[in-house]
Structure 1
Amino acid sequence: MVNEHQQPTRPPAAEAPAGHPAPSAAGDVPVAETGDFWLLLGAAALLGVFGGLFGLVFMWLLRLGQGWYAYSSPGWMGGHWWWVAVTAAAGLVIGLLRWATRLPFKTPGLIADLQDQYVNPRLVPGILLVSTASLIGGASLGPEKALGSVGGGLGQWMAARRRLDDEGRGATTLSGMAGSYGGLFSSPIIVVMMIVEVARPGGAKLTRVLVTSILSASISFGIYFAVAGTVFLDLYAVPSFSYQNWYLLAGVGIGLLAAVVSTLLGVTVTASGKLFDRLRLPDLVKSIIGGVLFGVVGVILPLTMMTGTDQLGVVLKEGATLGLGLVAVLVIAKMITMGVSLGSGFIGGPIFPSLFIGGTAGVALHLAVPSLPLGLTFTCMLAAVVGGFVSAPFAMVLFAAFTTQIGALNATPVLLAVITSFVTVEAVRFLLARRGRPRADAGAP
C-alpha cells in the first residue's frame, strides 16, 4: 500500500532503430544473439562504476549534513526545541528548490519508478536536491529514492542516446538503479531480488534485467566495499535463539500482525497525502508546515527523526529500558512522520523508515509476549512489514537474514511471516480494488 504520486505517462515503445533487430514477441531469438544485449552489458558496467562512486559521495554528504542530530535522551522529550527551526527551514529550502528547478509538487515515487522501469531524466536534478535537503533536514525518509533516481535517470539517458528499444531502455534504467543500490544494501543479491520482485519484468526481458542488474550491482558493491566496507551486514545483532518447531506457527501469526502494521502504514501515508492535497495553501507553505510537524514529533520522540537506520539499533538495544508503551508509540509516530514527510513535499524513499517501523514493532511484540524470542519477533517483523508494504517479500527475507545473521534454520519462520504478510496485504488490495470497481462502472457512460 505504498502511496505513489501520480506519474507522467511512460513514453510509448519506439520502433527498433535501423541496424538493430526487432524484438521477437515469440522470444525465438536468444537474448545473447541480439546486438542490444552487448550494449546493455557495457552500459551496466559503466552504471555500476558510477553508482558505486556516487553512492559513496552521497552517503558521505548525508552523514556530514546530519551531524546536527544529537538527542539528550532516546525517551520522551529527548530532543531539542531548536530542532523545529531546523526542520521548518528545511521545508522552506525545499519549497525554494522546487521553484528553482521547476520540480512538480507531485513526483513519481520509488515503487512507481521500478514498476514502470522509467525515470524522467529532466526531474533528476530537482529530485536529488530536494531529497538531499529532506534527508539532512531530518525527514522520516530514506536515501534510496535519490540514489535510484540518479542511477535510473542516467540509465534512461544512456538508452535514449544509444537508441535502444523499449525493453532495452527499461533494462538499462533498472541496471542504473541496481548500480546505485549495490553498495547501499551491502549485497547485490538483495538488490537484484528487490528489483525483479517490484519491477516484475517478464519473458526475454527478465534475462536482460537479471544479467545487467547483477553486473551493475556487483561492480557497485565492489567499489563501495573497497572504500567504506559493508553498511548493513551484521548491523542488528539480535540475541541468539534455538529453533523450535512451533516457531513456524508463530511465524504465520507474526505475519498476520505484520500485515496489519503494513496496511496501517499504507493508510497513514495515503491519508496524509490527501490531507495536504486539500490544503488551499502554496506548496512552499505546505513544506514548512510539514517540517514543523515532524520536527515537533521529533522533539517529543527523537528516535522518529532521520532515516531510522541508526535509531532502530537504539530501539533494539534499549527496548526493555524504553518500555512497551514508548516502543509502541514509536511505531505509530514513525508512521505519522513518514506520511507527513511524503505528503508535504519532502522527497525520499519508503524502505528505510519502513524497516524502522517493522523492527520496532518486533521489539514491541517481544515486550508484550516475552515467551517469543526477541531475535524471532524482531527479524520476522523487520522483513514482513516491509515485504508487504513494498511487495518485495523474498528480498526482505534475505535482507533480514543478512542483517541479523540468525542462520538458515531460523530463517524459515521469517520466510513464513513474510509470505503471510505479503499474501494478506495483496488480498486487502484486491478487495479494495474490487469494492471500488462497481462505483467506477456505475459512473461510466
Structure 2
Amino acid sequence: MTLAIPPTDADVTPRRLIMLSVPALLIGVVSALVLWALNSVSEALSSVLYDTIPGALGVDSSGWWIVLVLTVTGLAVGLVLVVAPGHGGPDSATTELAEPPQPLRNLPGLAIVTVLALAGGVSLGPENPIIAINVAMLVAVGARFMPKVPARLTGSLAVAATIGALFDTPVAAALLFTGIVASLKSGGALWDRLFLPLVAAGAGAITMHLLGQQAFGFNVPGYDGPKPPDLVTGAIVACAATVIALAMLAAFPVVYRIMHSLRHPVLIATAGGLLLGLLGLLGGPITMFKGLEQTGDLLANSADYDAAQLAALAGIKIVALLVAASSLFRGGRVFPSVFIGVALGLLASALIPAMPVGLAIGAAVLGVVLVVTRDGWMAIFVAVAIVGDVSVLPVLCVIVLPAWLLVTRAPEFRIAPPASESAVAPPPARG
C-alpha cells in the first residue's frame, strides 16, 4: 500500500470533508501524544544516563562516560534488534519519511531502539521511526474502529499529523504533501486534497504546543531585508553547503558498507556506538543527540566558537550522522542535518563578516536540508523556521534555484533496501 492522499476529486464534497475532519483531528491528537510520550521517555532515560548515574558515581559525564554510554547503547540496540519480534522493522537507512505501514509486531522493538538511541546520544532524530509507529498503529486502529475511513487516508493523515507535531506547525506537512499531490495523476483541487492532512497536522501541532513542546524558537539576529549583494553571497553559501552535503551523501554508502561488513547486528550497533562515543568525546555533548537542542545551544553561544571550531563541529556531526545512520540505529536524518547547516552558516558568517548572520544560517541550512530531503519546499521551510524571520524568505526562494541544480541529478539520501525487503514491500512515497 503506497501512501497517497485520497479522496479523488470526484469524492471531494464539503460534507465529506467535514465528516472526515473528526477522525483527522483524532489522528492528529493521538500522533502528537505518541511523539510526546516517546520524547518524554527518552529525555527521562537520558537524564538518568548523563546526570543521575554519573552524579552518583562522581564521574565527569562529558568525558569518557560518553564513550561508555554510547557503546552500551549500541550493544543494547543490537541485542533488541536480534531478539525483538520483527527485529525493529526496516533499517532506517533504507527508509524515507512516508513509508507503507509496518506489521504491528515490529512496533515494540522499534519503539525501544528509538528510545535507546535518542537517550544515549545517537546523532539521529525521531522523525522516521515515530512516523512509522504512528502510521502502523493508526492504520490498524482505524481499520478496527473507523472502517469507513480508507486505510490509505488514515496512513497519510498519520504522516501529516506527525510531521506537524515534529516541526511545530502544519505548514511543514502542507509543503511536503504539496509535492506528493503534484505527483498524482487523478487531478483535483490542491486545497481539497490538502484539507484533511492540514486538519491532522494542525491538531498535532496544537497538541504539542499544549503539552509544552516547541520544535523551533531560536535566537537568531534579525535580517534587515533583501539587498542585491545578499543574492550573491546567499547563493554562494547555499551552493557551498549543498556541495558539502553532497559529499556526505557520496560517503553514506561507503560508510554503510564498512559498518555492515561486521555482518552481525550486535557487532554493527556496538561498533557504531563506540565510534559515536569517540566522536562525542572529541566534539563534546553539543555534537551528540538529535541536534535540535544542541542547535539552540550553538546559536546562543556562537560567539564562543571561531571559524576553525565551527568547521570542526560541522565535520564531527557529519561523521556522527553517517556512522549513526549506517549502524542499524533507528532514527531520522533531518534534525541532525539542521545542526550541520547551522554550524556551516555560522562558519560562513565568520568568513564573510559583511553577510547578515540570519541569511548565512538560512542559506546553509537550506543547502544541507535540500540534499537530505530532496524537497525544496521543506528546505525553505526549515531554513525560515530556524532563522525565525520571514523577511529572509524572498532571498531563500531565489538562492534555492542554483542549489537545486546541484541536487536534481543526485541520488536520494538513503540506502537502497535489500532485495528481500523490496520484494515484499511496495515502493515508498517520497518524503
- In 2, Cα distance between equivalents of 1:262 and 1:55: 28
Residue 29 in 1 paired to residue 10 in 2? yes
User: Which residue of structure 2 aligns with residue 289 of structure 1?
Assistant: 271
Query: 225, 236, 245: which is aligned to 1:262?
Result: 245
Secondary structure in 2 matching 1:29: helix
User: d(CA) in 1 for partners of 2:180 and 2:309?
Assistant: 33
Distance 2:82 2:23 in 1: 33
Q: What is the CA deviation profile of residues 374-406 of structure 1, one whole-angstrom value per residue up to 9, with x for unaligned ones?
A: 111111111231023202221332232233222
Which TM-score applies when normalising by structure 1? 0.80
Give 1:237 deviation, angstroms: 2.2
Superposed, 1:264-283 pairs within 5 Å as 264-280=247-263, 282-283=264-265
> For residue 46 of structure 1, what is the amino acid of its counterpart?
L
Residues 334 and 209 from structure 1, CA distance in 2 versus in 1: closer, same or farther, beyond 3 angstroms?
Answer: farther
- Aligned twin of 1:138: 121
- Cα distance 1:276–1:402, how it changes in 2: closer, same or farther (>3 A)? closer
Q: Which residue pairs with 2:419 in the alignment?
A: none
Q: Distance in 2 between matches of 1:199 and 1:288?
A: 41
Q: Distance in 2 between matches of 1:200 and 1:298?
A: 42
Native 8 Å contact 1:276 1:343 kept in 2: yes
The answer on whether the counterparts of 1:117 and 1:170 sit within 8 Å (CA) in structure 2 is: no
1:119 to 1:306, Cα distance in 2 relative to 1, 3 A: same
| Aligned residue number for residue 150 of structure 1 | 133
Residue 77 (structure 2) aligned to one of 94, 97, 103: 94
Give SS of 1:428's match: coil
The aligned residue for residue 188 of structure 1 is 170
- In the alignment, the residues of structure 2 paired with residue 114 and residue 347 of structure 1 have an alpha-carbon distance, to the nearest angstrom, of 12
| Paired letter, 2:26 | L
In the TM superposition, what is the alpha-carbon distance from 1:100 to its structure 2 partner?
2.5
Which residue in 1 is equivalent to 2:416? none
Calculate the TM-score normalised by the size of structure 2. 0.82
- Kindly provide the amino acid, as one letter, of the partner of residue 31 in structure 2: G
Aligned to 1:56: 36
User: Cα 1:348–1:209, aligned 2, differ >3 Å: closer, same or farther?
Assistant: farther
1:276 offset after TM fit, Å? 1.6
Greater shift after overlay, 151-160 or 289-298? 151-160
Give unpaired runs (5+ residues) of structure 2.
Answer: 55-59, 413-431
Aligned counterparts, 1:40-439, within 5 A: 40-67=20-47, 68-69=49-50, 79-104=62-87, 107=90, 109=92, 112-158=95-141, 160-161=143-144, 168-197=150-179, 202=184, 203-204=186-187, 210-228=194-212, 230-232=214-216, 234-280=217-263, 282-302=264-284, 303-408=286-391, 410-429=392-411
Equivalent residue pairs, number:
399
After superposition, the Cα gap between the structure-2 partners of 1:419 and 1:84, relative to the gap in structure 1 and judged at 3 Å, is same
Counterpart amino acid of residue 61 in structure 1: V
Give the CA deviation at 1:83: 1.4
Distance 2:396 2:262 in 1: 42
Q: Are the equivalent residues in 1 in contact too, given 2:218–2:388 (CA < 8 A)?
A: no
- Partner Cα distance (2:81, 2:116) in 1: 11
TM-aligned CA deviation for residue 429 of structure 1: 3.8
Preserved contact between residue 88 and residue 106 of structure 2 (Cα < 8 Å): no
Name the aligned partner's letter for residue 217 of structure 1: A
SS across alignment from 1:91: helix
User: For residues 138 and 330 of structure 1, what CA distance do their matches in structure 2 show?
Assistant: 16
